[in-house]
Amino acid sequence: IENDATSATWAEVQLGVARESENVIMVCLGTGIGAGLYFNSELLRGASGFAGEVGHMTIVPDGLPCPCGRSGCWERYAAGSSLGGIAEYLRSAGKIGPLGGDEFEGGRPISSEMVARLVLKNDKEAIRVLEHFSDWLAIGLVNLVNILDPQTIVLGGGITELGEHLLVPVRRSFERLTPERS
């Protein structure tokens, strides 16, 4: 029995975009972040079977509290479920205007799904939220690349349905953080 990220990685290596790669990281973005690791043409599970629990990498010392009991975990900033929280923070800090015109004003919490819907409608403020999210996502990806040096990175999870709306700012942030790899 494998976890979802490891199973998804195996599927991508066998049937998907990573078929030609021997060294792959698949990052699954959902309510948390998990990764499947495929190196030297083998799934990597680690000594205790927990390789790939990357969502709990600290990316912001003394950052947001995480349900795991620590603070600053990557998944608090870059899981698919964190998009709404980023929007709430940016709105309360006055860094974005109303999302979707006035559709979400009035104190209602902003969900990740709401932001994603607005991104697909090309709402400027929702796109700004996604750009902040992309910066956090890229920070974790850069850390993984610096440690593991994969041939291929695959992103999975519901938020990837945003397609190029997500991939373009993630690539831009990644390249800004790793000029030597561009």
Domains of the chain listed by start with CATH number: 4-175 (3.30.420.40)
179 vs 105, which has greater pLDDT?
Answer: 179
Q: Answer with the residue of higher pLDDT: 92 or 101.
A: 92
Is the pLDDT assigned to residue 182 strictly greater than 80?
no
Over residues 102-123, the pLDDT tens digits come to 665 566 789 999 999 999 999 9
Question: What's the per-residue H, E or C state across the chain?
Answer: CCCHHHHHHHHHHHHCCCCCCCCEEEEEECCCEEEEEEECCEEECCCCCCCCCHHHCECCCCCCECCCCCECECHHHHCHHHHHHHHHHHHHCCCCCCCCCCCCCCCCCCCHHHHHHHHHCCCHHHHHHHHHHHHHHHHHHHHHHHHHCCCEEEEECHHHHHCHHHHHHHHHHHHHHCHHHC
pLDDT in tens, 142-173: 999 999 999 999 999 999 999 999 999 999 99
What is this structure's pTM?
0.93
- Summarised one tens digit per residue, pLDDT across range 41-66 is 999 999 998 999 999 999 999 999 99
